[in-house]
Structure 1
Amino acid sequence: MNEVAATSASVMRASTSSLSSSSVFTNYPLISAIVSFAIAQSTKFFASWYKERRWDLKQLVGSGGMPSSHSATVTALAAAIGFQEGFGGPLFATALILACIVMYDATGVRLQAGRQAEVLNQIVYELPAEHPLAESRPLRELLGHTPPQVVAGMLLGILTAAIGHLITIIS
């Protein structure tokens, strides 16, 4: 009985020490996803400035545009999990399926919703001034992504996770 208690105490100490040594700040998959998101959004922010010569802070958090920050984020997460836990495990499979769903949604439903918003805004714009909807706020049109934007985000996510993996190996 004492052996069981000693073994249980030993396991509890080991799991407690491993929990205390792990931190959100050392979570490589999480950091890869956040860094990839930040790079994608920053790219859109600076590209917007370059094209329009004005700072548009909405680009730092908005959706749509090149590259897809959604794709970059979920791909970086999946790739980092694969590098850390192995590409054959259930955790990587879960992250990969999540990434595929997000990227499919970005090029499908969200892209089409943005195109519908564009058409609806044009219809409202052409309404006579006395129409009740003539003064309605325009709908957001930049919601989804084209396939090249999603692929660019995916490549950014893989690159970010790979660089993060190399950094974890070196340190």
Structure 2
Amino acid sequence: MLKDVWKQVQFLFSSPTFLACIFSWFLAQFLKTLIKLFAGKVHSLKELVELLIWRTGGMPSSHSALVACLSTCIGITAGVDSEVFVLSFCFCMVTVRDAVGVRRANGMQANMINRIGNLLKDQGLVQEYKNLKEVQGHSPMEVLVGCILGFFVGIGFLVL
């Protein structure tokens, strides 16, 4: 049983599609970190590590890079006429739409609610207000660059 699990893990980490997807995500996060670092928007080592590993938003979109890379790799290996490519492409479109639309709108709404809550607190109309987390979505350009990055990483891993 444990031997079978180990074989599956080995297969996963030797899969060019998996490796391409992980690489595209890390590359996007690295580029995002470099851009923020050179723009003077990184103020601590903790913030630098968060940017490299976890933080969302910014140029380029790592989520978009990953799903575009996945669709590209599946399109190359299984063909664009396969059902699994259609699935990956639809998954890509939902992820891109979420990155540029829903998460961005949620962040803008949270920002406005925080402003209202703090204003009410300052005026003494509410005793306590805890700010909502303002999730940062992506601009269309950040998503487009992420998709282009993922596309070329997928080609680089499977064609070149």
State if a TM-score over 0.5 links the two structures: yes
Taking a change above 3 Å as real, the CA distance of residues 165 and 24 of structure 1, as seen in their structure-2 partners, is same
- Structure 1 partner of 2:127: 132
Is the Cα contact below 8 Å between 1:36 and 1:160 reproduced in 2? yes
Q: Larger Cα Rg: Structure 1 or Structure 2?
A: 1
Higher RCO structure, 1 or 2 (CA under 8 Å, sep 6+): 2
1:13-162 matched pairs, under 5 angstroms: 23-52=11-40, 54-55=43-44, 56=47, 57-60=49-52, 61-129=54-122, 130=124, 131-134=126-129, 136=130, 138-162=131-155
CA-atom RMSD in angstroms: 2.1
CA–CA distance in structure 2, aligned partners of residues 140 and 45 of structure 1: 21
The amino acid of 1:47's aligned partner reads I
**CA displacement, residues 52-106 of structure 1 (integer Å, 9 cap, x when unaligned):** 2534222221111111111111110110111112121111111001000110111
The count of aligned residue pairs is 147
The amino acid of 2:139's aligned partner reads T
CA–CA distance in structure 1, aligned partners of residues 120 and 66 of structure 2: 40
For structure 1, the residue ranges without an aligned partner over 5 or more in a row are: 1-15
> Structure 2 length normalisation: TM-score?
0.82
> Structure 1 length normalisation: TM-score?
0.77
CA–CA distance in structure 2, aligned partners of residues 47 and 141 of structure 1: 21
